[in-house]
A = this chain, B = another copy of it.
């Protein structure tokens, strides 16, 4: 309920330009009436130049295509997340110009070369190849949102020297996204090296007592590094979203 728009509306009512009854309607529906019928992943208006995001699971290719078209009609770039390859192919069959990234499973309808808006570099760090889908989702989303991204894979805590080798890259990032499964110790170690905000993403990688990401999640929540916050298991998108907001500050 944007205060300025409400004030303008009330001024119109005062001047008689708008009838109270009509103002009432506008008042109630204003904030999202211009978005159309789309159901975006983020559940709220992504203002200020961040593209709209569509969460694919549970939607048919037809539904996704319809949402994308509506958003493109109003001039929005659109990012579709967690899109299986066959669904992506069918959406691309209906709408030209989409770019599908197979590892992170994102489908992007926007400029090939997104203008950089973020003020610094977002580093995306992970330990193992198994975490790559989450790493890639985070990196792709961050790039589509206008950030410079530096991906540092394969730097697990059990080979601490690898981490030290990328020490300078870690410390030159403005925000860090650290992705880890199993015991999820990487954010603690990275958090101890840098003095920037670290967004930890537990992944469901691992077996047995990894319990589908619970071990990593608990490890990150109880991290002894104070600069670590946590998002949901496998939520590379969410990490990139918050990192983008921070990187624009």
> Are A7's CB and B28's CB within 8 A?
no
The residue on B at minimum CB distance from A42 is: B226
Whether B1 and A20, one on each chain, are in contact in the complex, defined by CB atoms closer than 8 angstroms, is no
Q: Please pick, from B1, B158, B209, B224, the residue contacting A182 in the complex, using a CB distance under 8 A.
A: B224
Q: Closest B-chain residue to A57, C-beta based? A: B130
Interface string of A196-217 (1 = CB under 8 A from B): 1101001011111111011111
Copies per assembly: 8
Q: Please determine whether A32 and B224 come into contact, CB atoms closer than 8 angstroms.
A: no
Among candidates B6, B58, B188, B195, residue contacting A245 with C-beta atoms closer than 8 Å? B195
The answer on a CB contact under 8 Å between B154 and A157 is no
Decide yes or no whether A87 CB sits under 8 A from chain B: no
- Decide yes or no whether A95 CB sits under 8 A from chain B: no
A191–B241 Cα distance when bound, in Å, is: 12
Whether A232 contacts B221 by the Cβ 8 Å rule is yes
A residues 215-233 in Cβ contact with B at 8 Å: 215-233
From B20, B127, B217, give the contact of A224 (CB < 8 A): B127
In contact, A183 and B42 (Cβ under 8 angstroms): no
Q: Nearest B residue to A38 by beta-carbon distance?
A: B154
21 residue pairs of the A-B complex, CB under 8 angstroms, read: A42-B225, A42-B226, A44-B192, A58-B129, A119-B249, A160-B164, A160-B192, A160-B193, A182-B222, A182-B224, A183-B188, A183-B218, A183-B220, A185-B189, A189-B189, A197-B246, A199-B229, A207-B233, A215-B218, A215-B222, A229-B239
